[in-house]
Amino acid sequence: MDLGLKDKVVLISGGASGIGEATVRLLAAEGARVAIADRNSSAGSLLASELTATGVQAIFLHGDLATESACRAAVDDTLKMWGRLDVLVNNAGVNDSVGLERPPADFLASLQLNLFHVYALTHFAREALCRAQGAIVNVSSKVSVTGQGKTSGYAAAKGGVNALTREWAVALAPHNVRVNCVVPAECATPQYEKWFQSLPDPASARAAIESLVPLGQRLTQPNEIAAVIAFLASPRAGHTTGQLLFVDGGYTHLDRAASHGHEKW
């Protein structure tokens, strides 16, 4: 299926690795022009160079998106490069494990890291997106709707992303700008793998988590998240807005019996 993304300009935060990288690659394969905003200069530059060498129009925008200036620059530089912005993918974020035992300053820093850029990038991009009658795709997390413990900052930030998705869907509907959110759960990203490797028995930890996923007892792959992001970004989703789409193999909402041999009961 042609998603109708050829020559569309897409700005993707956190696009240098994981779900962001998979999204960049898929959108590029669909013919989009991609601006990769990330603080990882080596990975981001390498990805942009690799894509450019294959004929893709791609740029890397280095910056700490926890700052207003970097968010403004990312939008401005995208517009300077291509003169328009059709899609904003708010993907950047990291589970920094800021729990309730941490001081309030750490909680605020977690919100700055995981929620501030979502608002700031959208704020600076809104006029261009309205001109293009474009789309915003936010990336949240299952911790926005499930308790996990020891991650108050990240949970609050991702809950905020969910809420802003619907707030902006209403605010931007008169301008024909669609706003949706993709919600992963247990996804096989480099960040998740790094966490596995920090544990005493990585293989057992992975197997235990995989066993909780009803569909296939496996982790979601980044390209599976990217496919849904690409669809929501495209004209094919032309009458879809304000939605939270869980791409998680049933992890978040299906009864735990689904992953524990319920067929034998």
Enumerate the active-site residues. Answer: 154
The answer to whether the CB of 161 falls within 8 A of the CB of 91 is: no
Write the CA distances from 145 to 117, 171, 209, 219, integer angstroms.
21, 23, 18, 19
The answer to whether the CB of 50 falls within 8 A of the CB of 129 is: no
Write the CA distances from 252 to 139, 146, 213, 220, integer angstroms.
15, 8, 9, 12
Write the CA distances from 159 to 170, 197, 214, integer angstroms.
17, 28, 24
DSSP secondary structure of 76-116? HHHHHHHS---EEEE---------TTS-HHHHHHHHIIIII
Q: How many beta carbons lie within 10 A of that of residue 186, not counting itself? A: 19
